[in-house]
């Protein structure tokens, strides 16, 4: 399989063309038995370690993760899980790494953010694109946890518009002179190794982004004071500055001028970690809420019995099940290695970050007054969870990415819409990796075949709404043509349809595998959760699809414009 064929094999992109690439998602990915056994041992050990050593309330209060906690995790080998064995790590699959990450996040959000900034994104570029020398030089110390890594892309003027970075690296003999500054750098206060993105001049004079390996001990490197944040208090977030740093030319990671692609690849995989972390949080909140609901009595009845409480508990459980299916479906795709999972990982990130936000909202409501008290952990969870909707690609930019990347692959329409769509995201300056490839290398049809009979109604709805997505995309592209990139209201609906459809596909694939593998009575709980998710998902999809053509968007635009014009509400009933 060629590189382009590999990249063009994408389940979600196929859905935009009305196709169901069943060979990509079915059977549901399964971990090999030996890795599963090792993973369970790691999880047991990690849980015990956390129980004995991690005090999240104290981490939140003090704003620091105790040195002993990081040292203990380092000793367990957790910081090198995903690093290949040849460089001092353990070479676990992406699925196993993310399952551990899920657990770390359930233990403590600050710890998860620190862990993820190091391993999900900080050192990832080295693994994906580092030279043999770079890997040998940097990875062993990062694997042992002796040193930490960080990922440095964001700048004051370049957040979602990552292509707009101003940091420069100017070639000077056998090195580059690096100047600029980066903000919101997780692990910025103590990391030793930084994957830094800077503009370099190409032979043709063009300014392109290149990735560099930068270390704290380089002259001219400095980091700023710790940011005071709403949550994840134990994690380090600082500015970092480069003042005429001499970076050896051999520290360029990946091809010169291809740093944007490197960054996007790293973030595609990093977003999955974030999604797995949110899953850990949702599961933990669900456990806390269920326990509270069963124990709290009002009107001589445990509040668990009241249906308005059950509605919240159910919503959290359904989210956990769907998210778990989506995340581990996608990590399975990454491990499989021959598919493009960029849309899927963005889908997971958006769904996950919103699921944990819904979960904390429900959890706090179930808890009532105590949820609002600092004595309990709900308020900390609320503060910790909010960042997930913002970092590693704000959900708005990721929704644009999901919708526009999917449309790019919309083969026949590309021809009619013309060249403008070939690179739509660059006009938005969106951080994305958007190689243009036609869908051709996989078996696809508009049917989800040979699925267990118990799922026939869900499969029917799924097939119906994949067609509907295709039809919505056609309508939108016919109407807006290249201006589609500015139609945020429409893009959001198409992205939300994609998210729910991928959720349905992942849930159906998971349930189908379980039903075929064994005794259907043992799958009862999963089947109920999955069916409920599908039921709710297709209703959301139907609503979104109707609103692609029939909506109140003009009124929305008008309201927004009025508010901007009057700098706020500016109406007074009594005035």
Partner 1 sequence: MKIIVCLKQVPVKDSLLKIKDDETWVHEDDLSYEINESDHYALETALRLKEEHGGEVVILTMGADRVREAIKQGLAKGAERAIHINNESFTTIDSNINAKILAAAIKTEQPDLILTGLQTDDYGSAQTGVILAEYLGLPHAGIVMEIQKQEGSIKVKRELESGWFQSVELPMPALLTIQSGINQLRYATIKGIMMAKKKEIKQPTLSDLGLSESDVAPGSSSLKFQKIYVPKKTKQTQFFEGDPKDIASQLVDKLRNEAKVF
311 is catalytic: no
Nearer to partner 1, 75 or 450 (CB): 75
Q: Which stretch binds partner 1 (CB under 8 A): 36-44, 415-423, 424-432, 553-561?
A: 36-44
Phi then psi for residue 147, to 5 deg, are: -130, 155
Could you say which of 48, 62, 207, 373 contacts partner 1 (CB under 8 A)?
Answer: 48
Rounded to whole angstroms, the Cα distance separating 531 from 454 reads 10
Q: Report, in Å, the least distance between residue 72 CB and partner 1.
A: 7
C-beta of 99: minimal distance to partner 1 in Å? 13
Q: Are 356 and 313 in contact (CB under 8 A)?
A: no
Q: Any contact of residue 527 with partner 1 (CB under 8 A)?
A: no
CB 187 within 8 A of CB 148: yes
Q: How far is the CB of 291 from partner 1 (least distance, A)?
A: 11
> How many residues bind partner 1, per CB under 8 A?
20
Which residues, at least 6 apart from 478, have a Cβ–Cβ distance to it below 8 Å? Answer: none
* Local structure of 137: helix, strand or coil: helix
Binding map of partner 1 across residues 83-122, x = CB under 8 A, - = no contact: -------x--------------------------------
Which residues, numbered 222-281, are part of the site for partner 1 (CB under 8 A)? none
* Nearer of residues 58 and 71 to partner 1, judged by Cβ: 71
Give the nearest distance from C-beta 355 to partner 1 in angstroms: 25
Round to whole Å and give the CA distance between 545 and 526. 28
- Contact pattern from residue 486 through residue 525 relative to partner 1, giving x for each residue in contact according to CB under 8 A and a dash for the rest: ------------------------------------x---
5 makes contact with partner 1 (CB under 8 A): no
Q: How far is the CB of 342 from partner 1 (least distance, A)?
A: 30
Rg of the chain in Å (alpha carbons): 24
Cα separation of 478 and 124, whole Å?
Answer: 40
Q: Which is nearer to partner 1, 90 or 376 (CB)?
A: 90
Contact 195, 266 (CB under 8 A): yes
Stretch that binds partner 1, among 43-51, 479-487, 494-502, 529-537 (CB under 8 A): 43-51
Q: C-beta of 76: minimal distance to partner 1 in Å?
A: 5
Query: Interacting stretch for partner 1, rule CB under 8 A, among 71-79, 149-157, 184-192, 384-392?
Result: 71-79
Cis status of the peptide bond prior to 189, with omega within 30 of 0: no
Query: Looking at 81, 112, 139, 367, which residue binds partner 1 (CB under 8 A)?
Result: 81
Stretch that binds partner 1, among 32-40, 426-434, 460-468, 504-512 (CB under 8 A): 32-40
Nearest distance from C-beta of residue 90 to partner 1, angstroms: 5
For 10-67, the DSSP string reads -HHHHHHTT-B-HHHH-SPP---HHHHHHHHHHHHHHHHHHHHH--HHHHHHHTS--H
CB 204 within 8 A of CB 215: no
Only one of the segments 35-43, 203-211, 278-286, 313-321 lies at the binding site for partner 1 (rule: CB under 8 A); that segment is 35-43
- Unique residue bearing structure tokens 């002993």: 68
Instruction: Give me the DSSP letters along 85-118.
Output: GGGTS----HHHHHHHHHHHHHH-HHHHHHHHII
For position 32 contacting partner 1 by CB under 8 A, the verdict is no
Give burial (CB, 10 Å; 0-12/13-18/19+) of 341.
buried
The CB-of-33 to partner 1 minimum distance in angstroms stands at 11
- Out of 14, 25, 42, 196, the only residue in the binding site for partner 1 (CB under 8 A) is 42
Which range, of 73-81, 209-217, 248-256, 552-560, touches partner 1 by CB under 8 A?
A: 73-81
Q: How far is the CB of 73 from partner 1 (least distance, A)?
A: 10
Q: What's the CA gap between 127 and 266, in Å, rounded?
A: 10
- Residues 544, 550: Cα–Cα separation, whole Å: 10
| Contact (CB, 8 A) for 456 and 491 | no
**Whether the Cβ atoms of residue 511 and residue 527 lie closer than 8 Å to each other:** yes
Q: Does 44 bind partner 1 (CB under 8 A)?
A: yes
Q: Give the shortest CB-74-to-partner 1 separation in angstroms.
A: 10
Choose the catalytic residue: 7, 102, 265, 392. 392
User: Which residues in 49-68 contact partner 1 (CB under 8 A)?
Assistant: 49
Chain center to CA of 29: 19
Contact 246, 175 (CB under 8 A): yes
The pair of three-digit structure tokens given for residue 173, joined into one six-digit string? 């003999």
Task: Rule CB under 8 A: say whether 78 interacts with partner 1.
Answer: yes
Q: Which residue from 4, 38, 168, 179 is in contact with partner 1, where contact means CB under 8 A? A: 38
Give the nearer residue to partner 1 in terms of CB position, either 90 or 489: 90
d(CA 85, CA 322): 33
> Whole-angstrom Cα distance, residue 10 to residue 340?
5
Residue 479: C-alpha distances to residues 33, 490, 518 (Å): 51, 11, 49
Residue 77 binds to partner 1 (criterion: CB under 8 A): yes
Tokens of 197: 């993105």
Q: Is 40 in the site for partner 1 (CB under 8 A)?
A: yes
**Among residues 29, 60, 70, 72, which is the contact residue for partner 1, using CB under 8 A?**
72
- Given a contact cutoff of 8 angstroms between Cβ atoms, the answer to whether 266 and 209 are in contact is no
With CB under 8 A as the contact rule, the residue among 23, 37, 206, 558 that binds partner 1 is 37
| Other beta carbons less than 10 A from residue 506's beta carbon | 28
Question: Is 231:386 a contact under the CB 8 Å cutoff?
Answer: yes
Residue 75 in the binding site for partner 1 (CB under 8 A): yes
Candidate residues 1, 41, 202, 230; the one interacting with partner 1 per rule CB under 8 A: 41
Pick the binder of partner 1 from 66, 76, 386, 429 (CB under 8 A).
76
Positions marked catalytic? 392
Residues at the site binding partner 1, with contacts judged by CB under 8 A: 34, 37-38, 40-42, 44-46, 48-49, 72, 75-78, 80-81, 90, 522
């Amino acid at each position: 399989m060629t590189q382009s064929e590999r990249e063009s094999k994408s389940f979600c992109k196929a859905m935009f063309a009305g196709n169901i690439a069943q060979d990509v998602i079915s059977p549901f990915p399964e971990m090999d038995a030996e890795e599963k056994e090792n993973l369970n041992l790691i999880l047991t050990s990690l849980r015990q370690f956390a129980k004995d050593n991690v005090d999240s309330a104290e981490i939140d209060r003090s704003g620091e993760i105790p040195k002993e906690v990081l040292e203990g995790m380092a000793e367990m080998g957790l910081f090198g899980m995903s690093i290949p064995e040849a460089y001092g790590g353990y070479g676990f699959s992406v699925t196993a790494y993310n399952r551990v990450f899920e657990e770390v996040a359930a233990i403590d959000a600050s710890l998860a953010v620190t862990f993820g900034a190091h391993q999900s994104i900080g050192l990832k570029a080295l693994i994906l694109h580092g030279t043999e020398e770079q890997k040998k030089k940097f990875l062993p110390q990062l694997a042992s946890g002796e040193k930490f890594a960080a990922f440095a892309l964001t700048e004051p003027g370049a957040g979602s518009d990552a292509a707009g970075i101003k940091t420069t690296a100017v070639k000077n003999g056998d090195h580059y002179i690096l100047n600029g500054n980066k903000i919101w750098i997780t692990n910025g206060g103590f990391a030793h190794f930084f994957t830094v993105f800077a503009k370099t001049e190409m032979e043709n004079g063009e300014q392109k982004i290149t990735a560099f390996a930068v270390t704290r001990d380089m002259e001219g490197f400095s980091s700023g004071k710790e940011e005071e944040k709403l949550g994840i208090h134990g994690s380090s977030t600082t500015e970092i500055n480069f003042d005429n740093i001499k970076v050896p030319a051999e520290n360029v990671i990946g091809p010169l001028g291809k740093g944007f692609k490197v960054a996007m690849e790293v973030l595609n995989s990093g977003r999955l970690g974030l999604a797995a972390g949110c899953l850990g949080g949702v599961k933990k909140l669900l456990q806390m809420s269920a326990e509270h609901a069963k124990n709290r009595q009002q009107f001589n009845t445990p509040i668990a019995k009241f249906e308005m409480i059950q509605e919240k508990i159910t919503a959290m459980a359904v989210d956990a099940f769907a998210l778990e299916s989506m995340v581990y479906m996608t990590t399975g795709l990454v491990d499989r290695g021959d598919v493009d999972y960029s849309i899927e990982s963005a889908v997971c990130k958006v769904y996950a970050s919103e699921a944990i936000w819904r979960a904390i909202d429900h959890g706090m409501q179930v808890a009532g007054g105590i949820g609002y008290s600092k004595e309990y952990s709900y308020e900390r969870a609320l503060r910790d969870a909010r960042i997930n909707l913002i970092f590693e690609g704000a959900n708005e930019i990721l929704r644009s990415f999901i919708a526009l990347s999917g449309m790019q692959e919309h083969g026949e329409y590309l021809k009619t819409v013309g060249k403008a769509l070939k690179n739509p995201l660059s006009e938005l300056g969106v951080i994305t990796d958007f190689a243009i490839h036609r869908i051709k290398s996989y078996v696809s049809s508009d049917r989800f075949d040979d699925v267990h009979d118990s799922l026939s109604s869900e499969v029917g709805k799924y097939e119906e709404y994949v067609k509907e997505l295709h039809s919505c995309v056609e309508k939108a592209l016919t109407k807006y043509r290249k201006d589609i990139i500015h139609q945020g209201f429409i893009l959001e609906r198409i992205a939300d349809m994609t998210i729910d459809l991928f959720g349905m596909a992942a849930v159906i694939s998971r349930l189908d595998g379980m039903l075929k593998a064994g005794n259907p009575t043992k799958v009862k709980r999963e089947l109920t959760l999955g069916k409920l998710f599908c039921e709710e998902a297709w209703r959301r999809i139907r609503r979104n699809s109707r609103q692609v053509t029939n909506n109140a968007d003009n009124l929305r635009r008008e309201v927004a414009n009025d508010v901007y014009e009057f700098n706020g509400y500016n109406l007074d009933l009594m005035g």
